[in-house]
Amino acid sequence: MVALEQKVLREGTVLEGHVLKVGSFLNQQLDVDFLVEMGREIDRIYKNDGVTKLLTVESSGIAVAVAAGTVMHLPVVFAKKNKTSNVSGDIYSAMVHSYTHNTDYKIVVSKDYISRDDKIVIIDDFLANGKALEGLIEIVNQAGATLVGATCAIEKGFQGGGDRLRAQGIRVESLAIIDEMSPEGIAFRK
């Protein structure tokens, strides 16, 4: 998505440790008009696929998913992090390892909100090592639902998570893929 690449070049800052700061429109302040543009792009990708629900994980993924859900007129389900109770077994859950934060956390979704009849697109803000996506895919599989694809706004291609999932046959269509970045510049995959 050229407009997203241009926005990242205009507003993004590359920090130490291969972190891209995009707080002005995605991670702290939300540029709602631009989010809706991203939502339209996600609609274009999946409009013929019979999608019934969008799935994301709190917190920053919710904004992108809601924008897409608004355009596509679809409900958004978000996994909650670090909810430990599993008393009645009425949840789907998966463990996620974060390389960025060097922690493991659990994500959970109530069984009320995804069923085997659902056709799901997973949405997130960033795709780095792909561990959050893997956890969400596990939840889709536990539900017996169909995974249509996964779209993240910004994929850090050099971390390999997206390509590993593609190699497993998963449809991963990120809106912008960064193949190289440093404080000197950002190169997008063409």
DSSP conformation letters of 44-98: HHHTTTT--EEEEETTHHHHHHHHHHHHHT--EEEEEES----TTS-EEEEEEEE
Map residues 102-141 to x or -, x wherever contact with ligand G4P holds by CB under 6 A.
Answer: -----------------------xxxxxxxx---------
Contact between 64 and ligand G4P by CB under 6 A: the answer reads no
C-alpha span between 77 and 86 (Å, rounded): 19
Nearest approach, Cβ of 88 to ligand G4P (angstroms)?
A: 26
Applying CB under 6 A, among 59, 82, 86, 110 the residue interacting with ligand G4P is 59
Residue 31, φ and ψ in degrees, nearest 5: -85, 95
C-alpha span between 17 and 116 (Å, rounded): 40
Nearest approach, Cβ of 47 to ligand G4P (angstroms)?
A: 26
Nearest approach, Cβ of 35 to ligand G4P (angstroms)?
A: 15
Applying CB under 6 A, among 39, 69, 157, 161 the residue interacting with ligand G4P is 161
C-alpha span between 55 and 79 (Å, rounded): 7
20 or 148: CB nearest ligand G4P: 20
Map residues 7-46 to x or -, x wherever contact with ligand G4P holds by CB under 6 A.
Answer: ------------xxxx----x-------------------
CB 125 within 8 A of CB 62: no
Q: Please choose, out of 1-9, 28-36, 54-62, 67-75, the segment that lies near ligand G4P by the rule CB under 6 A.
A: 54-62
C-alpha span between 110 and 47 (Å, rounded): 26
CB 8 within 8 A of CB 22: yes
C-alpha span between 71 and 44 (Å, rounded): 10
C-alpha span between 118 and 188 (Å, rounded): 33
25 or 92: CB nearest ligand G4P: 25
Q: Please choose, out of 32-40, 69-77, 85-93, 94-102, the segment that lies near ligand G4P by the rule CB under 6 A.
A: 94-102
Judged by the rule CB under 6 A, the positions of this chain that interact with ligand G4P are 19-22, 27, 59-61, 98-101, 125-132, 156, 161
